[in-house]
Amino acid sequence: MKRFWRIAFVVACASLIAMFVDVMRKASIGLKAVNAASDNDLPLTQVITPEDSTLISPKYISRVRSHQNVNSKVMDPVSFLYVDDTYHLVIFKINMEADQPLRKILCGNSENSERSNDETYSMVDFNGFSRFEWRPVPTRTRNIFLSLYGDSLSNSVLNDSIASYHLLCKNLSIKYQKKGVVQVFMTCGEITPSDLLFLKRGKIVYFMLMTTAKPDSLIPEGILYDLVMGI
């Protein structure tokens, strides 16, 4: 019996050592990834970029101001804007491998999401109750897989160049492969009224996300479509 317990003790110790080594290995890999991402950071700026200004109708551009642009050496800036000081607007640029109609590129579904494990994300907590995260790496893709989770989801526009969604959002994610890594993730501490727009121009798709400044406020459905189209 004593021999059995000695063997069990040795096995348990070996298992704990293996677990400790694995945890330290993952921590080391994660730290290296974080350091690499930090090395690619550029100073924040606070300006509406010329590219962003072309996305918004001249009719409404005076109602938009910059909060901050998160800049990088290896990928396009991620823009955080205010609209009427009432709404928060995020603009995220997705580079496509080919010039295809948006309805062939974009695949949407309604399901709960989490960001991927063992991946490094940049993050901006832009209104106190919603957190927008993205992988700070250069990518090109053929497809966009969108997951939306919340309530009262509607898809009012879907054509070759524009897709518009509206919901009370709990979280959302974007992947470039159906079973791949989450590239973009937003989580909301509370159900948050949100309006989304995918705008395709050539081999670029702009993901635009608008939320309210307060969780108990409402946001008109299609407000982003009107902001872009000048309606």
pLDDT in tens, the chain (231 residues): 555 556 555 555 555 565 544 434 443 334 333 444 457 778 999 999 999 999 999 999 999 999 999 999 989 999 999 999 899 999 999 999 999 999 999 999 999 999 999 899 999 987 777 899 999 998 899 999 999 999 999 998 999 999 999 999 999 999 999 999 999 999 987 788 899 999 999 999 999 999 988 767 889 999 999 999 998
Which 3 state secondary structure label does DSSP give 7?
helix
Same domain, 179 and 79: yes
Q: Which domain holds residue 96?
A: 50-229
- Residues contacting 69, CB < 8 A, separation 6+: 44, 45, 46, 47, 49, 77, 78, 79, 80
The total number of structural domains in the chain stands at 2
Same domain, 119 and 160: yes
Q: Is residue 45 part of a domain?
A: no
Closest by alpha carbon to 100, among 207, 208, 203? 203
Same domain, 29 and 81: no
Same domain, 127 and 193: yes
What's residue 231's pLDDT? 85
Q: Is residue 225 part of a domain?
A: yes
